[in-house]
Structure 1
Amino acid sequence: MINKLISAKMAGIGAYVPETILSNAYFEKIVDTSDEWIVTRTGIKTRHVVGNSGEVTSDMCIKASRQALADAHMSPEELDMIIIGTVTPDMKTPSTACFVQKALGAKNAAAMDVNAACVGYVYALTTARAYILAGMARNILVVGCETLTSITNYKDRGTCVLFGDGAGAAVVQRVDEPGVGILATHLAANGDFTDLLCVRLGGSRNPLTPENINDEGRYLYMNGSEVFKHAVRLMQSAAEKVIADAGVRAEDISLFIPHQANIRIIDSLAKRLSIPEEKLFVNIQKYGNTSSASIPIAMVEAKQQGRLKAGDLALLVSFGGGLVWGAALVRF
């Protein structure tokens, strides 16, 4: 049963990206592309990658999480749960959240991963809110993190230029005050389009074998034109749903933070939602598409730039393979 007298609020946020930066010039050397082609079609100029650092998904989660905990003035022992959105876990099992729990010393926290592609952070955030409103938890660490370069085909000119690595985290906390924090969320999926954005090999449907270990199916596949057709329309519907559910007006939104997938998708979505440029946050030019990490990384950067302040109303919306999509309306 949901307690309408309490809310789930973001008490602290944090982010981390690896040090190694790949510019478009790097890709000009390895595939048939150009800086002009990449920027025009994607908006991306650079992306941060783990490279040869040896960093894995949990390492980035831990660094972003420590920032979020410090921002919330909270110790790891106070956490009741850790939820990580990722499609690039350290291992198939156990969950990446278990590695993070151990490293942080969050001995009182349950731990689980959520696989919802680029919408992993919004799915995890929604789950955290539900646990808190149901009275089942008080403090939950939510993380979106990806090592996308581990599943990127650097021979595919259409996808290799898109992806970067990184992590973003938030401490979601119960507050005994209605109408603050995460005001509304919406999640959706359509499994009819699983083939549009997927990694075909490595699961029980198509296990890796000595015969297929070098096949391109072990990398992320994307039908870009078809994904674009669905992405803008479905993110628009999710955004409009949370605005209506929260009982606010579109003009009340202080900052629109969409998933940083592609500048054309971002611009088309903002236009459909009548979001003016000054209320749109874009950092895809620096980080590329970091999947579930893109929104929480953007939130931290927006706060650092003074574009996200206490009391501001932020609209978060994302879309990814599944197909899955979702949105959240958050009062900071």
Structure 2
Amino acid sequence: DKKVKIGQAIITTPVNLFFIFCPTQNIIGVTGTKGKGSTASLVAHILQTAKKKVWLGGNIGIAFLAFIDKIKPTDWVVLELSSFQLEDIITSPHIAVFTNFVKEHLRPADPNNPNHHKTLAEYWRAKLNIAHWQLKSDYLIVNTNLKKKLKNSQLASKIIYFTKSDLPSQLPGAHNQENVAAAVAVAKLAKIKQTDIAKAVASFQGLIYRLQLVRGLRGVRYYNDSFATTPEATITALKSFTEPIILLAGGADKGSDFKQLAKIIKQRVKFVALLAGQATPKLKKALLTISYPKNQIVVFNNLPTAVKVAQEQAKIGEIVLLSTACASFGMFKNYKERGQLFTAMVQKLK
């Protein structure tokens, strides 16, 4: 019932076609509100380190059908899968990974892409589809935080829960320890040696615009987390550091509530450079409501000036962090353009 017939034609999706025609059963699908791109990339990196032939694709930016004719039956495929790609699938991968789940995509934030889920329950169902079609011989690797939510899901597959990994890694923050733990669980199912796993985790540098270290300059480290488009993602970023932070935030409105983020900002951030956008007044109001110092909040109409002022505010041992908690539309085309501009500005600092 997931295929629509019009005349003699059947309307389907690239991901459904991929599952039908993929020559290998070694398919790993990764989803989650955040961390799916990093986890999928790390899984691929571990398999490559162990000398496996790996294909990485999906939501990460490589079309499902772009490499399907090159895959051999012994190869491994790692797919990053968004909720929109999952909502109408009729096959699940042999190994499914579910990194985490928070409120997201409940209203359109991109004027060029109206995709959104009408309710949180609809969003959850779309995500859980990654395991819905699994058999007893398949595996679901899932964050232990979701154990209660999965209680009545009636899945056929074997469920493996993960927490945090203590393997040495270049990735900052507790959330990345969870991503590593998920990838390690996949690697163990793929029978990868522990030495290869540890080597791969230690050498993995993470993805661009995900808490990416851009540079260190005069004792200040600059991090690019332009991919963080929700308050929850920025809270995660802020909790990744113990040093005082100069935060660049604000932008387009996704209907988010900034109360919890404001509390974390008050605890960890010494100066807030807000980028103009529809959500920015809401974030500023949330900060002022809990008595965040008014003179430590400045709104900027362009990113280069915000970066310059952030540099002036930062002292040795502190962090300058772009993690906006908002969508980028308005001032930027997308989070990538915002990230590119931030990196370019930081590289120009003297």
- TM-score w.r.t. the length of structure 2 is 0.24
State which structure, 1 or 2, has the greater radius of gyration over its C-alpha atoms: 2
The structure where strand makes up a greater share of residues is 1
Higher relative contact order (CA 8 A, sep 6+): 1
Superposition TM-score, scaled by structure 1 size: 0.25
